[in-house]
């Protein structure tokens, strides 16, 4: 009997899953397999929120496979060693998996390929599973990747994507391989209280609801902080419970400004992956250095703590940071504001903020997180590296009634707009009655410090 192993990584779904489809077409039976890779844990990339969401995803994937006559095999350890063991136990000829885009994924894939080929097995890597357009597919004439989004998007948007593969009706599995018990969300401590549910079922319900009630208005409402009108697809894209290829096809069929804006966001996600694939060091080092002498955790400890705990004295910043801890997620506009505040107003090393986000965000993703942080810090692909977002101006524009602030900063629940965005300007008795800190820095002072630092570094 011809057996194939389907190695799931960041593609925890059955709909539009090319590796699974290829394995089923080529084999008499498959082994759907997931490894809880100890290297991921050792690197600190499975904090509580993502570990809990992953548990949901694996449970949902196992249930969907069982509905089709299959099951998910889960093991813990070194991914290469565990795959080789399963291949031997199942006497599998080939292994199918999705391509990754990080340096870690590339090294792991190469290790796996060498180990399998040494044993006479074949590894098939499918490159349009976690992205719509793989890195290297579109490139400028004189470089290996695009450093500016707009010309990248022009080429990206002209491509014809592969067709969407339906979920299999039946999954034939090998019965010769055993796994360990599935992890459970309830066993994970330190999880954000309002962390959303994971899994392909939850993802597809989210898509269906958003298509009915949110997509058409997406371009108009996605920056409104209080409206909560973003898609919230990002955790599902990160864990692969949604297919970016399927989303692009659906949005293009729908048409209209909202659908077009969603497609552009999916392209932005692919853009960062092609940057990181070409420049893996950008996960830690400046993509375009400005020779900054950033303040560090040692030199800016109090300011960093205020930012992390939502006690900066700037209500929209504090609201966003508290949302992050409570939900394990943050509104996209709020991510821009909080990142700009830390990196430019406080002039703190962007890596400190990126690490904090990676700890809490359920959609914490190396390409998106690190390169978006660099974009805001002015060391990445932003063509205006010295722009500074004013949190008060932005709050009045994107939270004009103050509803977002009052939702997350209950100390200001009784303060109306626009004063809720500048509580330090309230009359003395009213200000004194609030259990809320003064600003950690005046915006003008922070702007001056940043500009002086960039000027000195030139």
Q: Which residues are annotated as a binding site for FAD?
A: 218, 230-234, 363-365
Burial 339-369 (b: 16+ CB within 10 A, else e): bbbbbbbbbbbbbbbbbbbbbbbbbbbbbbb
Closest CA to 76 of 95, 102, 48, 51: 51
CB atoms within 10 A of CB 71: 18
| Percent helix, percent strand, percent coil in the chain, to nearest 5 | 55, 5, 40
Strand 94-98 with 3-8, pairing: parallel
Smallest Cα–Cα separation from 171: which of 30, 311, 48, 360?
Answer: 30
Could you check whether the bond before residue 418 is cis, i.e. omega within 30 degrees of 0? yes
What are the structure tokens assigned to 232, written together? 């919230």
Binding residues: 218, 230-234, 363-365
Q: Residue 47: what are its φ and ψ, rounded to 5°?
A: -65, 170
Cβ neighbours for 313, distance < 8 A, ≥ 6 positions apart? 306, 424, 436, 437, 438, 439, 440
């Amino acid at each position: 009997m011809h057996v194939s192993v389907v190695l799931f990584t960041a593609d925890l779904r059955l709909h539009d899953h090319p590796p699974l489809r290829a394995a089923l077409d080529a084999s008499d039976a498959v082994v759907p397999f997931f490894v809880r890779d100890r290297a991921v844990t050792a690197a600190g990339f499975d904090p509580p929120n993502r570990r809990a969401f992953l548990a949901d995803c694996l449970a949902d994937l196992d249930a969907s496979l069982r509905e089709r006559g299959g099951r998910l095999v889960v093991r813990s350890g070194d991914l290469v060693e565990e795959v080789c063991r399963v291949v031997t136990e199942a006497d599998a000829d080939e292994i199918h998996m999705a391509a990754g885009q990080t340096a870690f994924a590339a090294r792991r894939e190469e290790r796996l390929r060498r180990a399998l080929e040494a044993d006479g097995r074949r590894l098939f890597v499918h490159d349009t599973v976690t992205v719509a357009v793989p890195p290297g597919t579109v490139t400028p004439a004189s470089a290996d990747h695009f450093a500016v989004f707009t010309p990248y998007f022009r080429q990206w948007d002209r491509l014809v994507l592969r067709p969407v593969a339906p979920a299999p009706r039946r999954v034939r599995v090998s019965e010769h391989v055993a796994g360990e018990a599935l992890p459970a969300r309830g066993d994970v401590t330190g999880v954000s209280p309002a962390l959303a549910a994971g899994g392909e079922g939850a993802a597809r319900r989210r898509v269906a609801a958003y298509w009915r009630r949110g997509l058409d208005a997406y371009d108009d409402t996605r920056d409104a902080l209080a409206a909560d009108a973003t898609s919230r697809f990002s955790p599902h894209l990160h864990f692969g419970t949604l297919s970016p290829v399927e989303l692009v096809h659906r949005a293009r069929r729908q048409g209209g400004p909202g659908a077009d804006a969603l497609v552009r966001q999916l392209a932005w996600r692919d853009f960062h992956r092609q940057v990181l694939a070409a420049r893996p060091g950008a996960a830690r080092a400046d993509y375009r250095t400005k020779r900054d002498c950033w303040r560090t955790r040692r030199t800016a400890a109090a300011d960093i703590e205020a930012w992390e705990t939502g006690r900066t004295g700037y209500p929209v910043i504090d609201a966003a940071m508290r949302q992050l801890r409570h939900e394990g997620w943050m509104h996209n506009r709020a991510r821009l504001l909080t990142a700009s505040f830390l990196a430019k107003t406080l002039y703190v090393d962007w890596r400190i903020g990126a690490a904090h986000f990676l700890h809490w965000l359920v959609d914490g993703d190396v390409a998106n997180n690190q390169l978006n942080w660099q974009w805001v810090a002015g060391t990445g692909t932003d063509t205006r590296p010295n722009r500074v977002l004013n949190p008060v101006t932005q709050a009045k524009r994107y939270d004009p009634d103050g509803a977002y602030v009052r939702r997350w900063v209950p100390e200001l629940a009784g303060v109306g707009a626009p004063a809720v965005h500048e509580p330090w300007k309230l009359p003395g008795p009213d200000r004194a009655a609030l259990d809320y800190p003064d600003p950690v820095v005046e915006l003008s002072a922070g702007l001056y410090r940043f500009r002086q630092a960039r000027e000195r570094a030139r």
